[in-house]
A and B are shown apart, each in its own frame.
Chain A
Amino acid sequence: QKEVEQDPGPLSVPEGAIVSLNCTYSNSAFQYFMWYRQYSRKGPELLMYTYSSGNKEDGRFTAQVDKSSKYISLFIRDSQPSDSATYLCAMRAVVGSARQLTFGSGTQLTVLP
């Protein structure tokens, strides 16, 4: 079983919808959590970076971490066609063998005009 699980989708939503993207993980040592956006045939770009539990908001994006459930989410409000991309979660521990990032396999999102 992978340490980080992410539903590959594809996920299609109408423009303006609220999108919820999720990852689950098994390593309780993970404390840093990231979300990346990757457009087709491009490199990933870092969207959100959070430490430990709680919420973090940046414009239309909100990252949520629930360490007790080993579950992280990325919410996109008022989704736009330009949000169509693959979203990757990534996470790591502070110390020990899991200090390097472990990535989910990505969720493909399409926002329909």
Chain B
Amino acid sequence: NAGVTQTPKFRVLKTGQSMTLLCAQDMNHEYMYWYRQDPGMGLRLIHYSVGEGTTAKGEVPDGYNVSRLKKQNFLLGLESAAPSQTSVYFCASSWRLNTEAFFGQGTRLTVV
């Protein structure tokens, strides 16, 4: 049972480049979330989804887009990366809304 799997684990981008982070869960959870974690800031919600085909904005959505075409996958996209998006990104899933129970291992993204 893999739980929540994020790919890639590490990435370095140049300013202006684009990329997509993939999150996959095998627990049949309806709810999925993308967070970023910065030193001293705690975890901040970027976007979330309450089911296949749905997405919603969180606390810090600017500069990011998401898609949930399949129930088990939640994609986070950066269209034009900026140094301020250097962070550790975590995906999470849950059986109940806003009760994030399972987190992935994280993606360390550096934008230079």
Contact = CB atoms under 8 A, between A and B. Distances in A.
Given A8-B40, A100-B58, A105-B41, A43 B98 contact: no
Contacts of A41: 106
B103 A100 contact: no
Interface string A25-52: 0000000101000000111111001000
Nearest to B58: A100
A45 B4 CA distance: 11
B31 to A, nearest CB: 11
Given A32-B99, A99-B98, A105-B41, A43 B90 contact: yes
Interface residues of B, number: 22
A103 B37 CA distance: 10
Interface string A82-113: 00000010101000000111011110000000
B40 A44 contact: no
Interface in A1-59: 4, 6, 8, 32, 34, 41-46, 49
A101 B98 contact: yes
Contacts, number: 49
A1 B111 CA distance: 29
B99 A49 contact: yes
B4 A101 contact: no
A49 B43 CA distance: 17
A32 B101 CA distance: 13
A101 B104 contact: no
A103 B42 contact: yes
A88 B42 contact: yes
Contact of A101 (B41, B100, B105, B106): B100
Given A100-B58, A100-B59, A100-B98, A43 B43 contact: no
Contacts of B99: 32, 34, 49
5 contacts: A46-B101, A92-B98, A99-B98, A101-B98, A105-B41
Interface of B: 4, 40-45, 48, 58-59, 90, 92, 97-106
